[in-house]
Amino acid sequence: MKRNHQNRNVIQQLSTHFRYALLVPDSFAQADSNHDGKLSRDEASDYLVIEIFTSRDANHDGRMTVVEWTGGDPSRMADFKKRDANHDGIVTEKEAIAYGRAHGVANQIMLEADKNHDGYLSRAEVKAYYASREGPPR
């Protein structure tokens, strides 16, 4: 039960971060790496992963150590190990992106927010998704 509660908290935190990041006009444009005015699942996931990775990578070397990842919380070690694909004790940005694409919160957001089922999120779909979950942006 505790693990389930932790997962919900992580999803809520990431979802809130994703909401903020994608509702800010410049952030949506940054996430839209091919500049087609919509976000693919990979674009949304990559943007979210990079934002979080950058905020946790204390020395900005593009490599996440156990200490940087866990922040001293041993309960986060399992999540670190899942992302460390080559088991060298370091999570690179590339490993984090690969994990995010396969297992990240953007996958669930895409399922719920892509109302026209075209495989992309428009800015309007992102806004509608978060307005339905958390109320309109302030």
Both tokens of residue 68?
A: 């940087």
Pairing outcome for strands 63-64 and 91-92? antiparallel
Average pLDDT over residues 13-34: 67
Q: Are strands 120-122 and 91-92 parallel, antiparallel or unpaired?
A: unpaired
Question: At 26, is the pLDDT very low, low, confident or very high (cuts 50, 70, 90)?
Answer: confident
Q: For the segment 55-69, what is each residue's pLDDT rounded down to a tens digit?
A: 889 999 999 999 999
Rg for the chain, CA atoms, rounded: 15
**Element of type H or E holding 124:** helix 123-134
Q: Output the pLDDT for position 120.
A: 96
Give me the pLDDT at residue 15, please: 55
Phi-psi bin for 121: left (phi > 0), alpha (psi -120 to 50), beta?
Answer: beta
Q: What is the mean pLDDT of residues 40-64?
A: 92
Provide the residue type at 129 as one letter: Y
pLDDT at 3 over 50: no
Take residue 38 and report the two structure tokens written for it.
């919509």
Which segment of 24-28, 88-92, 129-133 scores lowest on mean pLDDT?
24-28
What is the pLDDT at residue 133? 75
Residue 2 above 80 pLDDT? no
52 vs 90: which has the higher pLDDT: 90
Residue 76 dihedral angles phi and psi, to the nearest 5°: -90, 0
Q: Tell me the pLDDT tens digit for each residue of 86-97.
A: 999 999 999 999
**Domain ranges, ordered by start, for the chain:** 2-134
Residue 128: its pLDDT value, please? 86
Centre a 10 Å sphere on the Cβ of residue 1 and count the other Cβ atoms it contains: 5
DSSP string for 36-95:
SSEEEHHHHHHHHHHHHHHHH-TT-SSEE-HHHHHTT-GGGHHHHHHH-TT-SS-EEHHH
Q: Quick check: pTM over 0.85? A: no
